Every structure is written in structure tokens, then in C-alpha cells.
Structure 1
């Protein structure tokens, strides 16, 4: 029997053969294996899988894609996807966009070698005997939209030997500026919902509302993806950051031992820093959403130097939870409470809760709702952090209490008016692996760019000077951090154009975040924009950029492969013995960076996948997130 790859509850859309038959929507348990995707009836009271309702063989799948939601779709049907096979499309509705993305990209990975994969698809539903997108009345009609990448970004064929591209044509194609990103829909929240504050929040603008950790609030208005208007238990109203609250029904967030979005290396560092025998925390498992791991620190035999053990929380077919020995519990808090008093197969009972949640509240999108222009008189400059392409960067405080980084833009280095307009859009980009833009000071010269401050500084310096004896897991988790931040930018149609270790920062937990995304568009420096100049990022650029200045998300993929190489060489200079002219010639002729000593063959294959000569043969960042997670899972099992 094939091992389950993914398992989730979806709403399935059904319609009888007659086009006049009504649609119906039923919740089904979907299970993906290497051989098929099957769906089952499900007993929600008992948490039990019941009878098989249907299945699709993996080798019969021709396309996996999103579907544009129906007009005025209810909240539970905002995230549809389609699996197209011989009998037509199978429509499923995920609970969140993250779940949908995970299933789509895992399915694309599984079906990438299938025959007869489609190159066109229908982006809208088949309904009432017609495709809503193109009004064709034949269900087997060829799709009306071209897929961006065939096979989910994977190439089926063998890689051909690279040839030197033709020289650039006299009329160089002007790079197309991407459309400004649309704020993502906030899944799971709705007006009237009761939420619980995960963190304290002190109002930063007069219209903000104070949040007190673990207290309840009611959502009055969803302003955008980043801010809600809410009311507390005492009748006070104001704006709150959406990433500081969780739905009241989601039980784990209220417990101090639950550390959301923490990876294995970060858990081990935190437990070793606390250095308490029996110290523990619960974190998300890397492989699947909705799965959890208990990380425990132990000092065997009373030694000062301890070690960490990691236990996946397992579930029975009846939905009961257990750890090492089969002591079953109806929920995770009961399981943790039991093991706080009984080791029962663990290396130690769970003696001490270890958490960094209170000290590490996430960054907000702006310093208060609607605030993007910052008064420079509220900034205090403390020390210089470095000198970049646009000028000096300093560490400082906003209103004397919030840590910030301040880029002081030297005059003549940037197309300021264009950037100021773009800054309003960039502030809405929010992801745990992106450095948050807080706002700008544009009423004086030089203008300032105010961002989140990360205490461990530049990734390149961190690799060269601060990282001591890193493990294989730690290095790959850094790569995964960057890939997830870039996957978010990719989903927002944003191109970085200068991705490299020097443009990533490291926070106090060791999390890597991407910075300076899109800023190279505003450089006023002919030498920087020319591949002949020493300032141009030649060492991180693919052939189409070196020869035609053609930027895309696929040129960012190439740069990511070089950044992985930087991580696995602990910050060495790519092509260190070559000058720019030699690099352009060699890369165009098919030369690629060598395998770093710390990277095994599988890691190096991820890098080389990013360095295909043809841009459309490179994976997407969503593909890379899945690939890297698969490699990480194998490392977890062997370490």
C-alpha cells in the first residue's frame, strides 16, 4: 500500500450527467498517494474515515490548476482547484489558499512525468453545459488559457548540452515592470468573528487598539490583509494587526508551549540556550500542514551538554493523538498534560515549557494602520550598520521604543518619485521571510526608508563570520527560508532582480529574510544597470539577463541557485577566479558553479535545476519549496 503524501478535508463539487441537474457540495476526506488521489465519506463526530466515494489514478491526470472562484462565492468556496483527467475536471475547494497551494504543487510534482499533460486549461468552472471562461459548449474542448509552465515547472526530457546564445539584437527588449501586487485575501477570518490575541500590541497610531495577550476581540471590519478594525471586551474600538490574532476556536495558539512557524534548528537552538533537562516545545511539522512535533531537551546522566529529541504527534484512524507509546488522547493539550507528568516512552517527561513567543512578536505592515509617511523627528539614530547601493543604513528607534533600520538614500542614487509611489504597494507585502517595510520619510532630503531591524545582520557576513560548524539541516533550512519568501513574492507577481546573500538578513532566531526586493528598478546608475559594469550582479545572473537584460521570476530562480551555493560554501564569492567578462562568456557556453564540499549530490541537483539555460525549464519557487522540504524531511529522519 502506498504511503499517504497528503490528507485533508475538502468540499467536493458534484453534478449529475444532465446539464440541468443541480450542483451539490459535500465535504470529503481526500488522500493523495503516489498511485492515486482518493476521496472518502467522513464521520466528523468520530473523526473517522468511512467508505470510499471515488478515486483518480495519478497516471491519468492531465492538469492540476487553480479555478477562478464563482461570483459572490461563500467563504468556504473561495479557494477552488481542479484535477483534470479523462472524464473531465474534478473540482475541490480548500479551506485556505496555503492548503490549496500545497496540494497543487505536490500534485504537479507527482504527475510531472505523465503522458499527454495539457498545455492549455480552462480557468473557470464547467457549469450548466458551458465553460464559463470561453462559453464553449463541449466539455472536452481545448482550454482557453496557456499554462505558464508545463509539468509544474519540471522538465521531462534530458538536459541538452548548453550552447552559446546568439548575440543580442540591436533593439533590446525593455524589461516589463510587473503589475502591482493585489493584497492577498485573509483566509479564515470574517466580520463578527471572535479572535484571541497571540501577542501584546501597543498602539502605534491614534486609531489603533491595544491588544493584550490571550484576551478576546471581535472583528468589526477587514480593512485589508494586514489590518482589522476590532472591539475589545470593554467596548473600545480600533485597528489591530491581523497577524497578532488567531481564531478563538483554534486551540493550540493559546498555549505557551506552542511555537508557531519554528523549524527544527531554531527549536534546538532555543532548547539548548535554555539548557534545562526536560525543556520542551511543540512546533509545526515540516512536511504536512496540521501536523505537529514535540521537541525535548535532555541531559542524559546529568551531563552539562545535552541533546534534543523530536517526536511526531501521531493520530489513529479514529482521530486520537499519541506519541512514543500508545497512550491515546482526544486532543493535543491533553496529550501534553499527560506527558508533563509521565515520560511514557519519551527520553524525559516534559518538565519545562520553553518559548520565545512573547519576546518575538511578528512585524506589522506599517507602524499603525494607514501609516506609511513617517515623521523623521520620531526617529532616533543609534549606530551605523553598513553602506549600501543607495547610501548609509543605520540602526535606530521609532518613538524611542521600536527597533528599526533606516536607509538614508543619497541624492542622485534613486528615481525617488517612482519609488515613493511603489512604496505604498511594497508596504502591503507581508511574509515571515521578507524584511518588512514600515514606511518612508519623503518630506526632506535625503529621504529615508524605514524597515524591520534584524539583529544578526547580513546573511553573507553571518555565513562568513558568525556561523560555527553548521549542520546539514541548518544550511538547508536557510535555503528554505529564502525559497518561501521568494515564493510569496512570485505569487504577488513581484521580481527581486538582485537576489543574493548580501540582500538577505538574519533575525535573532536564525530565520533568514529577503530584503531590498525590487529596489534595483530605481537605481540611477548606468554602470549598475550594464552587465559590463563591476556593480552589475553578473555572478548571480542567468544568460538572458547577461545578454538581453530580460528579468523575470525565472531569473530570480537562477540567482537563488547561486545563493544556495553561497550558503553551502559559507559565503565564498561565486566564480571567484573569473572577472565579469569571463563569467558572461563561460555561463553562456554552459559553464556552471562546482558542487560545494558541504553539499551532497541531491542538494547540488537542486542548485543545477535552477541553472537551466532555458528559463522555462527552471522550476518555480513554489516547486523549490516542496523539493527542499522533501530533502529536509529525509535529513530529519537520518539526523
Structure 2
């Protein structure tokens, strides 16, 4: 124990927002060693440290950053301080100001040579989806107050070089990029893309369309489906664990591998297919790429590298603790490109003569939905709005705004046909159909990761809508779709505002989906992002019951009465306590005590990271 610098009991604010209250305070024993901060549960009777919980930040092995000043006043009447990790802020509370100052001084000494110390920080708490000091709504937003640190003498360290991020060119600068996907031009002004070909980005007209130039020199419009030059072919951005396993099993090569984004932001995972031990069917293994105190990358602790490409090159020749050496690169470049925002730059009103209906997919509250083609080539879904079901003029005014909403976990609105009746809504087509049907009929004996990835997809799509201050109002499994790769996307966001007559009617005559609604909606018709959070909890319950009807033995009138009196859905058999606690956090009586979608997405990511 001689290497312990400081040891003290602090009150720690929970980082696991899955608790029934997002602000949950518990006493923990904190131990500071050189370049390492850990905290523990503590058994006072036995006088021994207990095993850390799975969420223990000590697994990161070092303090990455610490602020120089103090937090704002706390209702706990204790002295607060904050420690910033790559994953976010950790809030702790000391019994006296003297203890707090002592720990801040020592923590600053321990992290002074870290290469990524914060230049700015947030002096106040992150709570209810925003920073209390500056009202910014993005948790990773740059701080609003200078750290006022004195310059420190430089200390040479290896510079980590993870796979390249997506480019963000400015409207005034040109950037060379390489296409990651094939893209077939949809209009005369579009630029076709070929995988591996080099292009120059000339202008970013919006987040959805770039002006680009090919090797022949002509400028055309292109969707942003490129990466900076010389990407590594083994790097598969935005790929889930389930998608990686499907791709590796399809290749069926011992030692087939790829590198993908981990469920935790900024982290990476190596997925490997192996037939070790004579297993002819093979199995998939997943290894998180870790970093040591010097910022070096490793899969096996004895083999450290300054960047990820060097790590991959080494393990292509040496298993060194892996089930197999990395023999064959498995790439996803043959997969289809992400959906574009619209069917061409500036296109939102679609000529119905360019649409061909092929088959009926089903019918919903607005009318029939059909699978079809646009200009005979591009797959689309066509909603034919039955007259009298929608406030059409209001929707048409909103359609342009809805088209600009673009996220990998939202079904893309391509455009509308408004010059005839019935009007059409043209959207991205997802081949695996409705999530509710997929849960009931499309999966058997699901893996825990598969169910959790569905929750992750929906939470990230909804976190984006939340960041755009956009309410869904009818979030449920029936309003999510599944693509050919198993990715879940949220659809019909905001459409319930334009319903003139539908099946969701309470005893008071108000229109909303009763089984997915919180007490403030049932009683007062008060919608907010927190009512969407409640519905997300019910959607999680649908996922973990494989599509059962919520409150299946109750009618709408009973649901209004019982839910308002405290009734909650039971824990599904497939959901463990940690999963169910996220659902229960969504069903808090007080809207302000429910987590934000950004927090929910982070919690689900943490659970996925533990499973990997």
C-alpha cells in the first residue's frame, strides 16, 4: 500500500443514469496512486475494499484530465470537484474544502503531462440534458470557461493515430477524399462515386450534399459518403457487432477480421472469425483496443504500438494472445451506401410519374404503404395518404424541415408528391420491414447483444431528434423499421401532429398512443422530449418481450387510471436487472427526473461495451 498517494471517502454522483433517479449519490472509497485513480464500494464492518462495480472508472487506469477550478454550489452541502475522463465528467463531493483543495492539487500534479488536458471546462453540472453554466445541449461541447493553466514543459509521448474520422471540409477549402461506397447518380446534376476512387470536395452546401469534382474535372453534387485519402481497408466505420459477425460468417475464413467503432465513442474493436480447436462452423471473437498510460495501443498488454495500423500489422503476423492471427481483411465496401437526404440536390417535390408501385407492404393510420421504384432504379417506400386522415397543408409546410433531418438511425424522408390527391410521402425503403413484425416473426433465440443493439439504434436516432428539438410523439416498435443489415431506424417522427382521426383515443377524447404515454400526457396532454423518453422505455420492453402488447390485459381506460396511479410494466424474462433499470428510469413519475436520450444512448453503449 506504500504507493498510495491519497485515500479518502467521497460522495460520488452516479454516472449510471439507468437508476430510477438520474441523480444518485453514494459513498465510495477513492484511492489515488501514481497515474491511477480508483474507487470502491467499502464494507465498513469488515474494513476491506469490495470488488469495484462494472461501471468503475478505474478500469480506464488513469486520470486523463482534471479541472483547475471548482464546481458550482451543490444541494448536498458538500464541497464538489470534477474529474474529466475521455468518457465524460465524474462528480465527487468532499467533506471539507481543505480535503477538496488537497485532492485537486495532487490530481493536477498527476495529470500535468497528459497530452490532452482541457483548455476549457464547464464549471457547472450537466443535468437534464444541458450544461447549467452555458445552457449548451451537447454533452461533449467545448467548455465555457478557461482553465487558466500555466504552460507546462513538454514531455514527449507517442501520438495515437486511430482510423481517420469523416472529413469536415469548409465551404472555402478543397479536400481530397476517397469514396467508401458506390453511388449511382439520381439526377443530371449528381456525381457518381466508385469505391476507392479519389475525389475533391469543393463546397459543403449542407450536411447532406457536397459539391465535388472527379478526375475529369467537372463539379457535381454528391452525398457525403467519402473518407480522407488512404483509409485502411480493414476499418469498417459505423458497423455494429451483429453486422460484423454476419459479415465475418459470410466470408467463413479462419482469421478473417475487421476493425469497427466500439459501442463507446472514440474506442475501437477488432472482430475476428476463428475455427480454432477444429470448430468447423467457426466463431467470432471481439477484442477491444486498449490504451496504456503513455497513449499506446494494445490488444495484448505486452505488445504496445503508437498507432492502430501498426498494431494490426503486428497481429497479422502474430496471434499474441488472440484466438487467431489476423489473416484476411474482411471489408464492407461492397455494402450499399447510406441513404441520401432527398433523391438529388434540392429535390423535394417528386413527380408521381417517376414512381412505380411494385407491391403493397401494409397499411397504417394514414393509408396504404407500397414498395416501389423511383425512375425505375431506386428503391423507395411510398405512403399513399388517404384523404381525411391528415392535415395535409400543415404537413406540406413542414416537409422541407423534416427532409433536412438526417441520421443513420432515422428513416430518410426523400420527398413528397403534393400536386395530386392522394398525396404521397416518399421515404427510404428498408427490406426487413416493421420492427414489431421483425421481433415477432423474424428472430429466434436472439443474442443479448442483438437486442441491446436494437435499443442502441433507436436511442441514438432519438438523441439526434432531441438535439434538433424535434418530438416524435408516437415512438413505438410499429414505428421503427429494420434494414437488410439489421439496423433499426425510427420512422414517422412528428407525423402524429397531423392526424385528424386515428385509433389512439383516450376516454377524455384526446388522441395519442395510450399504451406508450406517460401520466402527464394521459392526464394533461402535455408532450415533451421526456414523454418520448417514456415511450422509449415501453419500446425497450417490446424489444425484450419480442413484440408483446404492453398492458395486454387492460383497456385504454384502465391504463389511464392505473399508470397514473403508479402501475409499471413488469421485467421481461430476457431483460436483466441493468436493462430493466433503464426502462424504470424512463418511467419516472416526474418528467424532469427522466434521463435524456443522450444519457440513455450512453447507458446502452456502456452495457454493450461490457458485453464486448
TM norm structure 1: 0.72
Contact 2:288 2:299 in 1 (8 A): yes
Q: Which residue of 2 aligns with 1:124?
A: none
User: How far apart are 1:313 and its partner, in Å?
Assistant: 2.0
| Offset, 1:621 | 0.6
Pair 1:49 & 2:114 matched: yes
What SS class does the counterpart of residue 143 from structure 2 fall into?
strand
How much does 1:404 deviate?
A: 1.0
- How far, CA to CA, are the matches of 1:203 and 1:375 in structure 2? 17
2:568 aligned residue? 592
TM-aligned CA deviation for residue 533 of structure 1 = 6.5
Aligned residue pair count: 506
**3-state secondary structure, aligned to 2:144:** strand
Show CA shifts across 1:370-413 (max 9, x none). Answer: 01111212212111111111111111111222111111111111
CA distance in 1, matches of 2:492, 2:121: 44
Residues 1:601 and 2:583 are matched in the alignment: no
Which residue number in structure 2 is paired with residue 140 of structure 1? Answer: none
Distance 1:406 1:588, change over 3 A: same
Q: Which has the higher contact order (CA 8 A, sep 6+)?
A: 2
1:265-284 residue pairs with structure 2 within 5 A? 265-284=242-261
Structure 2: segments with no counterpart, 5+ residues: 1-36, 39-57, 70-83, 93-103, 150-165
Paired position in structure 1 for 2:262: 285
**Separation in 2, partners of 1:456, 1:436:** 16
Q: Residues of 2 paired with 1:582 and 1:615: CA distance?
A: 22
Q: How far did 1:35 drift?
A: 6.6
State the Cα distance separating 1:79 from its structure 2 match.
Answer: 5.2
CA distance in 2, matches of 1:217, 1:52: 36
Compared CA separation, residues 230 and 297, structure 1 to 2 (3 A): same
When residues 311 and 192 of structure 1 are mapped into structure 2, their CA distance, relative to the original with a 3 A threshold, is same
Deviations 1:512-544 (A, max 9, x none): 110000001111117645555698411001111
1:618 aligns with 2:594: yes
Any gaps of 5 or more consecutive residues in structure 1?
Answer: 15-28, 70-77, 84-88, 93-185
Write the distance in 2 (CA, Å) between the matches of 1:394 and 1:497: 24
Partners of 1:477 and 1:91 in 2: how far apart? 41
Work out the CA distance in 2 between the residues paired with 1:606 and 1:455.
30
Q: Distance in 2 between matches of 1:6 and 1:372?
A: 51
Match of 2:228 among 244, 247, 255: 247
Report the counterpart of residue 196 of structure 2 in structure 1. 214
**Structure 1: distance between partners of 2:209 and 2:125:** 44
Give the secondary-structure state (helix, strand or coil) at the position aligned to 2:142.
Answer: strand
Residues 57 and 452 of structure 1: CA distance in aligned 2, closer, same or farther (over 3 Å): closer
How far apart are residue 344 of structure 1 and its match? 2.6
Kept in 2, the 8 Å contact 1:497–1:555? The answer is yes
User: Does 2:254 align with 1:192?
Assistant: no
Tell me, what secondary structure is at the counterpart of 1:406? strand
- Which residue of 441, 447, 453 corresponds with 1:477? 453
Partner residue in 1 for 2:495 = 519
Whether the aligned pair in 2 keeps the contact of 1:497 and 1:518 (CA below 8 Å) is yes
> C-alpha distance in 1, partners of 2:562/2:85?
49
Task: Give the corresponding residue for 1:80.
Answer: 142
What is the aligned partner in structure 2 of residue 260 from structure 1?
Answer: 237
SS of 1:439 mapped into structure 2: strand
Cα 1:500–1:199 change in 2 (3 A) is same
Cα distance between partner residues in 1 of 2:471 and 2:187: 31
Residues 427-453 of structure 1, C-alpha deviations (whole Å, 9 max, x = no match) = 100001101111111121111111111
Deviation at 1:60, TM superposition (A): 9.7
Deviation at 1:219, TM superposition (A): 2.5
Distance 1:79 1:206, change over 3 A: farther
- State the match for 2:186 in structure 1: 204
**Cα pair 2:471 2:528 within 8 Å, conserved:** yes
Deviation digits for residues 52-86 of structure 1 (CA, Å, limit 9, x no counterpart):
899999999999457589xxxxxxxx953237xxx
**Equivalent in 545, 553, 558 of residue 534 of structure 2:** 558
1:193 positional shift: 3.4
Question: 1:394 maps to what in 2?
Answer: 370
Q: Give the direction of change, closer, same or farther, for the CA distance of 1:377–1:245 in structure 2 (3 Å limit).
A: same
2:537, 2:586 within 8 Å by CA — same for their partners in 1? yes
Change (3 A) 1:58 1:417: closer
**Contact 1:325–1:345 (Cα < 8 Å) also in 2:** no
2: distance between equivalents of 1:551 and 1:296? 46
Q: Secondary structure at the match of 1:622?
A: helix
Give the aligned partner of residue 238 of structure 1.
Answer: 220
| Residue 208 of structure 1, CA deviation | 1.7
SS at match of 2:269: strand
1:487 to 453, 463, 466: 463
- Cα distance in 2 for partners of 1:8, 1:494 equals 36
1:297-321 CA-to-partner distances (Å, cap 9, x unmatched) read 1112333222111112233444443
TM-score, normalised via structure 2 length: 0.75
Local SS of the residue matching 1:344: coil
For residue 398 of structure 2, the aligned residue among 399, 409, 422 is: 422
Task: Kindly state the Cα deviation for residue 567 of structure 1 after the two structures are TM-superposed.
Answer: 0.6
Distance 2:314 2:576 in 1: 41
C-alpha separation between the residues in 2 aligned to 1:593 and 1:51? 45
Structure 2 counterpart of 1:503, from 479, 482, 485: 479
Q: 1:349 and 2:331 equivalent?
A: no
Is the Cα contact below 8 Å between 2:182 and 2:336 reproduced in 1? no
Q: How far apart, in 2, do the equivalents of 1:483 and 1:61 lie?
A: 19
